[in-house]
Chain A
Amino acid sequence: MSQHRVIVVGGGLAGLSASVRIAEAGLPVDLFSLVPVKRSHSVCAQGGINACNEVARQQGFSEYEHFDETIYGGDFLADQHPVLEMANWAPKIIDLLDRMGVPFNRTSEGNRDLRLFGGSLFKRTHFAGATTGQQLIYALDEQVRRYEAEGKVNKYEFWEFLGPIIHEGRAVGIVAQDMRTMQIRSFRADAVVMATGGCGLVYGKSTMSVMCTGAAAARCFRAGAWYGNPEMIQVHPTAIPGADKLRLMSESARGEGGRVWVPKKAKDPRDPKQIPESERWYFLEEKYPAYGNIVPRDIATREIFDVCVNMGLGVGGENQVYLDLTHRDPDYLTRKLGGILEIYEKFVGDDPRFTPMKIFPAVHYSMGGLWTTYTKGSYNPGTALPKHKSGSPAPLDAKVGLGMQLGAPNNSMTNIPGLYAFGEVNFAYHGANRLGANALLSCIFDGLFCGVSVFNYVKNEAPGKAPAEGLASGAFDESVSRETARMKSLVDSASAGASDPATNPYAIGKELGDEMTAACTVVRTETRVKQCLTKIAELKDRYAKVKLSDAAGWTNQSFSYARAVGDMLAVAEAIALGSLERRESRGAHYRSDYPDRNDAEFMKTSLAKHEAGKTTLEFVPIDASLVAPTARTYGKKDTKKPEMAAAAS
């Protein structure tokens, strides 16, 4: 009797919840990760995780409203059914996490406490201190460790995924490399779940962790998996500039009264405290008298960008503006914002309670990712409903199976049978813009809900008849020799002191990051993006001749990085292509030459495909049959109750 196996690549929230679910269902799981799974990027999430809850429900909130605001926040680009199912599942996910021991903040009665987050009028965000992501991933990590101790999950930490192995059109395993011994080998599996997270490193510096290169997704992309909405990259308005990383400064700083300003005089050398009120420009308050500093996130980002990049008014001539809390009572600030102010103090050295912080927007999240499909659930109203009126009764209850059919083998499956994409690497759910505290939800939802799909696929579809274990070794050996050759060509290039920037992988990576940040972030134009594509082509040429400075056959980190740079170029190209072809403005994608949303032509998924070494892009229709699109204004006329538009991380 042959044994089925599943490979999960990635040990963030998505990968861990998938592993738990699949192992629990009875399939052995091989879990691959670049880092010990407990150190995955998901630890960085601070704000919280959204779900309808009893308190909000009794005030009129509902799973349906959560669904509706996610669609609206995403500027009507997401396929709607999966989002409905995710919202319906959210409360169950919180319950489960609660049972796993996540130390959610509590009310005096001992219930889970809630906080208000961007994009909603209701408190629907559950949180554990200022490190929610860390607490969630630890809970899942512990459950996986439990299965590991029982022998149901086998971890391959410090192993790098190099590509899926595709045989007769379906994924039957992966090829991977031990980053310490440099051993390359193939692994057989009846299904492969990609849960490899985002691609912030394509932009050089972002709020993401160092392993978020997007290389794993790119390797699937190059193997024929489609990539959806690559151009949808979220830029967070407030991050702490740093030489190595742009650390997030949560939007709650502005929620608590933080004011954004720059000195009126360019490159004013004075200490900010010495600059009199009359010589400060509170540009957000001036331009948006109603919303002031808490304008929607994309607007704040664009304005800060404009002031620094176009007007050259950034503090000290650099790309940074002041985020000023010094007018608030320091004790109040400690109580409300202690955690995040501490990060600022740790990395910058100044105490934000007494010195204005210096911040700048930073690449934060990728809504785009590997394209996946799903099986619609039973809710199909015929005509799309108008936008839900906040607080009004939901038009339907939150039954499971309305949005997606539980257990359908193709849920969150890429166009390659047997190859799934969960979590941030999955393009679904967030459309053109992600709401704060929805990412953690989508990661865990994918793992738990679609984990069942993986099980069913393995048992009932192709692998049921022809388990990977019994396949001829051809495809496996071939992939190992291909990767071995790729490594050899890179390592053979190594020559001591190879510091010519033209062929230095670090220089290429840095130039790529700078170019992508300049062309494909806050404001995009036809000419600039075209220039960017030219630059990418140039970098690709240079990359073909890349030279390493380390020929070691043991733990060769610069080789791993150099290899990833090649894959990052592929992601970058897809992002740039999407930015070029989507000639409208929607969510995070703002084209100053096409400032309006164009539903007729572009309420569609941009789909990047990689064939025969060439990347092409097409637009495919979405399923928006549940909620009819409306203008995404965030109630601009309602001056009494301004909300933060998109996410507060």
Chain B
Amino acid sequence: MISTLAPTGTAPASGMTEASRRRAMAKANRVVTFRIKRCDGPGKASYWQDFKVTVPKNANVISCLQQIAANPVTADGKPSTPVVWDSGCLEEVCGACTMVINGKVRQSCSCLIDDYAPNEGDVMTLEPMSKFPVVRDLWVDRSRLFHNLKRVQAWVPIDGTYNLGAGPKETPASQATHYVLSTCMSCGCCLEACPQFNEIPDQGSKEANEAAWNSAFIGAHAISQARLFNAHETGKELKEERLDVLMGTGGVNDCGNAQNCVKVCPKHIPLTESIAVIGRQVTFHAIAKFFRG
């Protein structure tokens, strides 16, 4: 488990972290403007709308959106419609609420206004993720991300749910490595920030979309999952098939090593390490295939 807690040596004895100092300065019940990029549906033009929200301390983006939904009146007093957004757990484990906040992708549920807009009149901008088609307002359709998990067969091919005894043993060290990879919540931050992963316009049908996705860059998310399953004792069974996909068009080769993915991943997954591991596996796989035929 990677801890974001500051090492004790560096934390002041008062218990004030950098964040808590910033948050302590934030004014209670200040009015913050939410500038939201809205869109009524696929194919419709986007437009910006401002809402003024009275923000209590410790409020997050979701609680402000809830306020807007309950009383959707714009900053200039015009009645509007509730902003649409996606959310689930509200504690940064489900990945649903991902959006672009003040220009950077992150989860909105863990985004505290105190950190971003501590003063009266500050502005927060909310935009939908740009790499996936917008459903409405801040809600995007991330089917492609889940489809990419199918491309690399991100599962362990067990024999079935019958009672067949325990799984393979594993050392604590290897568990620790795999656990971190396995905390990926398919939020898509890594894809949103990746210069090599770009939006594919709707192709009209599910099949056409999937075909287009199949040849486009798969992204750090699925590459890292392929690494996880390639490392599993039983998951290895499909390793070669996964590598065949990953050495092809849209596979690991399309990564340009900008390494944005690893910086925006909320779960601190070592994505660039995964990319290098898969790079190595693909190298050996290609050599093996060359000699084996």
Contact = CB atoms under 8 A, between A and B. Distances in A.
A549 B72 contact: yes
Contacts of A20: 161
B13 to A, nearest CB: 7
Contacts, number: 265
A243 B63 contact: yes
A552 B44 CA distance: 14
A101 B90 contact: no
A558 B56 contact: no
Contact of B183 (A96, A131, A350): A131
B248 interface: no
Contact of A209 (B56, B94, B139): B94
Contacts of A130: 1
B172 A353 contact: no
A455 to B, nearest CB: 12
A210 B87 contact: yes
B20 A353 contact: no
A43 B94 contact: yes
Given A98-B167, A101-B167, A244 B161 contact: no
A538 interface: no
Interface string A192-220: 00000000000000000111000000000
Nearest to B41: A554
Interface string A99-143: 111011111111111000000000000001111001100110011
A213 to B, nearest CB: 13
A288 interface: no
Given A99-B166, A145-B155, A326-B15, A243 B56 contact: yes
A245 interface: yes
B73 interface: yes
B69 A558 contact: yes
Given A96-B163, A342-B5, A349-B20, A355 B15 contact: yes
Interface of A: 17, 20-21, 24, 35-36, 38-41, 43-44, 92, 95-96, 98-101, 103-113, 128-131, 134-135, 138-139, 142-143, 145-146, 148-149, 180, 209-211, 242-245, 247, 273, 326, 330-331, 334, 338-339, 341-343, 345-351, 353-355, 448, 496-497, 499, 504, 506-507, 510, 549-550, 552, 554-555, 557-558, 561
Interface of B: 1, 3-6, 8, 11-17, 19-20, 22-24, 40-41, 56, 58-60, 62-63, 66, 69-73, 79-82, 84-96, 109-110, 112, 114, 135-136, 139, 141-142, 146, 149-150, 153-158, 160-161, 163-167, 169-172, 175, 178-179, 182-183, 185-186, 229, 232, 234-235
Given A36-B142, A101-B182, A557-B85, 16 more contacts: A39-B89, A43-B89, A95-B167, A96-B161, A101-B167, A113-B172, A142-B154, A209-B94, A242-B90, A245-B90, A341-B5, A346-B110, A349-B17, A350-B20, A351-B17, A555-B84
Pairs A-B, 4 closest by C-beta atoms: A354-B15, A497-B79, A98-B167, A110-B169
19 contacts: A96-B163, A103-B179, A105-B179, A129-B183, A148-B150, A242-B60, A244-B90, A245-B90, A273-B14, A338-B3, A345-B5, A349-B24, A349-B112, A351-B11, A354-B11, A354-B12, A355-B15, A549-B82, A552-B40
